[in-house]
Every structure is written in structure tokens, then in C-alpha cells.
Amino acid sequence: MIALRLLLVLMMVCALPAAERPNIVWIVVEDMSAHLGCYGETAIRTPNVDRLAAEGTRFERAYVTAPICSTARSALITGMYQTSIGAQHHRSGRGSVKITLPDGVVPVPALFRQAGYWTCNSDWPVKPADKGIAKTDYNFEWDKSIYDGNDWAARKPGQPFFAQIQVWGGKVRDSGKAPEIFRQALGELTPVEQLSLPPYYPRTPAMLADWGLTLDACRLVDLQLAKIRARLELEGQWDNTVVMFITDHGVSHARGKQFLYDEGSRIPCIMRGPGVAAGTVRPDMIEHIDLAATSLALAGIPRPATMQARDILAADYQPREAVFCARDRADETVDHIRSVRTERWLYIRNYLPQRPHLQPNQYKDHKRCYLALREAEQAGQLTDLQRRLLLSPTRPAEELYDYRADPFQIDDRAGDPANAAVLVDLRARLAQWEKDTNDHGRTPESAAQYDSDMATYLGQRQDAETVRNIALMKQWAKEGK
């Protein structure tokens, strides 16, 4: 009966005139935090992002539910916590052991397609049609037919479209040719002498140079946004298109990507177009999965009853009292971290506290920022704070930060007796969320699943470092770490 009602509603939606059905465009930038003028960044200018924010609604406190791409993307495309659908381990389900979505969970593009939208997934610049769709990175089995192609140009005349545009963003920074790419696109690199760094990173030439490239990546994204806008304007689609601009998680750094502090979990989120208030800044907390429900609502498409995302533009929307984030296995590196964030507090639970913050990880250990950090360590250039936060061999089981007073989350207040009641409350909130959302992380990943995915990794890399890291993960597990 529910399926029949949903079908009837979709038929009614398809019958609406195209002018009443806005296009929905998600611009998803990789590996980038909110280093943008409209979010307070002063070292660089980002006029095109700032213009988008001025014309629409900017969310001051948007957070991902997972600070790494495949898990965040799996959550976004379903409007579900990745922990609820078994997609919480990065790049999982790629081997012989597959992951399937629970009953009733439908990827968002499939819902748009059923409602008569053209659905596409593009890189920017858009690839030729014969190159296929752009990055998906979903940790579950899915039907490739949910996407009609990689460009909306092939749709029928007047047909509305749902498009995802993938922008490399911070990934360009990690390219060996990053300085050359940025100079060619931007003219000059960002001067680094006066840059401010978070207090947990050493102020060395190598670290400053890498931070400068981080900002240059934001400048390049700003130019790319202008070109996306120019195309939509040229095609006469801009005024009938809702643009949602986000990043898939924070900057890839030692306390960013893969971790639950602001640097890893807080993202920019800007919406502009029909149905979106102009010149508005929203101070309430949202989760990135909310884009799924909000997009469906703007298009007049019913949201599945199982979807956990919320329509944050609804007239009767009630702001969240708390938002949640989770980190599990990243590549070969096993971890299990959860967090809950309220208006004032960030509570982090480390379920594997006997492991170091910076566990061995082949993907991250060769990045410029990590090499710069290790060089500073060897040269004795780290402060006590930096060594404690980044290089301690163990972690506290619980962390608590008053992030209003402590925006960099460096003063752990979990041990302060004055905060005992806060800890009790946030422990209970997190435990209830894990139960209510059926957090699959409460059960360790099976050996069969891990070995299946690691076989895929080794088939792609065949490097001794990953082999050593896998062996270390298994040894630590035997030791109860």
C-alpha cells in the first residue's frame, strides 16, 4: 500500500510543468574545509563563493556524518547515516564480500529519475560522454542505471535535471604538480609568510607551504564555481536551478580528514535558488545528509519513510539539538570513533584508546603535510601541545571540548569534575543514537569483510607498506588494542 501511494505521488509530480520543477545541482568539492571569505577566511579572496552565499542561504554550522569520502558519499546519496546502512568502513564492499542496502533505502538519484528528472554525475570540467559518470565511491551495491549519464546536455527538451558535479578541490593540493597547476590557473601562489596555522601544527616552511596550497585549492574552486554558474546562465537554467555547494569533508590533514574535530567534520554549505531564502545565514546545526531530504522536497518528491535526513528548509523544521559523526576503518587502518555535538560541546568517544591518533596509513603517510610534520618532529620543532595532540602513542577514551571557547579543540575538558554532568548527558545521547540508528559499528568488522577488502587494496597497490600495516592492525586486534 505504501509503495502504491508513493507511485501515485510520483506520477503526480511527473505531471507538473517543468517550470514548477527546479533543477537540483550538487557541487561536491573534495578534501576542503571552509577556508572561504564568507566563512571568515581573510588570507585569500573567494568572490564567487561569497556571491553565491549572498544570493542564498549559508549554513554556519554544517557537519558531515563521516569525515572521509566514501562513507560521507554513501550517507549523502541515501540520506542515511553510513553507520545505519553498513557502509561505515571506507572503501568497503569492493571485494568478494558485498554490502547491500537495507530494505526501503533508495539512492536519491533513483528517486529523482522515477519522478521524471534527468540524473547525471559529472566531473568539472565535464568529461566526454564516453568516459562515463564521475566519482561515486559508494560502499554498497547499486544499480548504475540510477544515472542517465555524466551531463545534463543530453536530456529531453524541458526535462528538469538532478546533477552532481564533482570538483577535485583539495585533491589538487596533493598532486605532485600542484604549484604548477595553481600558478597556471591563478597567476601567483598565496604568500605564506603571514599565514596563520592552527596551534597544533608547527610553523615550519614546509608546513606553511602546504597550508598555502590548501588555500590555493580554495581559490581554484572559486574560479570553477564561476564557470559552472556561467554555463547555467548561458543555457538559461540559472534562475530555475537550486545550487547546493558543499565539500565531502574537511581538509586532508593530521587533525582533519578521517577525524571528528572541526577540521575534519565541519564543512561549508551554501544553497541558492528557487525556494531558498536570499541573504540568509543559518546558525543552527545541520548534517550533510540533510541535502538529500531537502533536495527531494524542493522538487516535490516524497521522502522515503526510512530516510534519516531532514528537510532543513521546511516551514515547520525544528533545528537539531545535536549532530553526530563517526569514523571507522579508513583504508587498511582500523579505528572506531564516535562523536556528538550540541550547541556548546563536542564529545568524542575513542573506542580504541590504546592506539595512537596517527595510526599508520599508507594513503596519508606520504602527503606533504604528514612529511612536514615528521620532519618537524625529527628536528625537535614541535611544542609539547603538538606532540601530545598528534603523536601520543595512546588516546583518551573520552574527549570533551567547549568549542565555543576553544575553536581548535585543544583543551580537553573531560577530566574536569565541573563537567561531570555534561559527560553523563553526552554519553547517554551518543549511546541512544547508536541504538536508535542501529549503528553497525557496535559490532567489529568481520575478518571475512576486512580480508576481502584488503585483497582488493593489495591487488591495486602491491606495496610492502600496506602489507605491514594490515599485519599490524591484526596484531593490535589480537592484543586487545
Res 193: pLDDT: 94
- Specify the 3-state DSSP secondary structure of 282: strand
Running DSSP on this structure, what letter comes out for residue 215? H
Alpha carbons 313 and 311: distance in angstroms, whole number: 5
- Specify the 3-state DSSP secondary structure of 162: strand
Res 324: pLDDT: 99
Crossing angle of helices 290-298/69-78, nearest 10°?
30
Q: How far is CA 237 from CA 29, 56, 126, 279, 442, in A?
A: 22, 16, 17, 21, 46
According to CATH, where is 3.40.720.10 located in the chain?
2-315
Res 461: pLDDT: 72
Cis preceding linkage at 268, omega within 30: no
Res 381: pLDDT: 98
Question: What is the CATH code of the structural domain delimited by 2-315?
Answer: 3.40.720.10
Sheet holding 398-402, edge to edge: 323-327, 337-341, 345-350, 398-402
Residue-by-residue pLDDT tens, the chain, 481 positions: 334 444 444 444 444 555 589 999 999 999 999 999 999 999 999 999 999 999 999 999 999 999 999 999 999 999 999 999 999 999 999 999 999 999 999 999 999 999 999 999 999 988 888 889 999 999 999 999 999 999 999 999 999 999 999 999 999 999 889 999 999 999 999 999 999 999 999 999 999 999 999 999 999 999 999 999 999 999 999 999 999 999 999 999 999 999 999 999 999 999 999 999 999 999 999 999 999 999 999 999 999 999 999 999 999 999 999 999 999 999 999 999 999 999 999 999 999 999 999 999 999 999 999 999 999 999 999 999 999 999 999 999 999 999 999 999 999 999 999 999 999 999 999 999 999 999 999 999 999 999 999 999 998 777 899 999 999 999 999 999 9
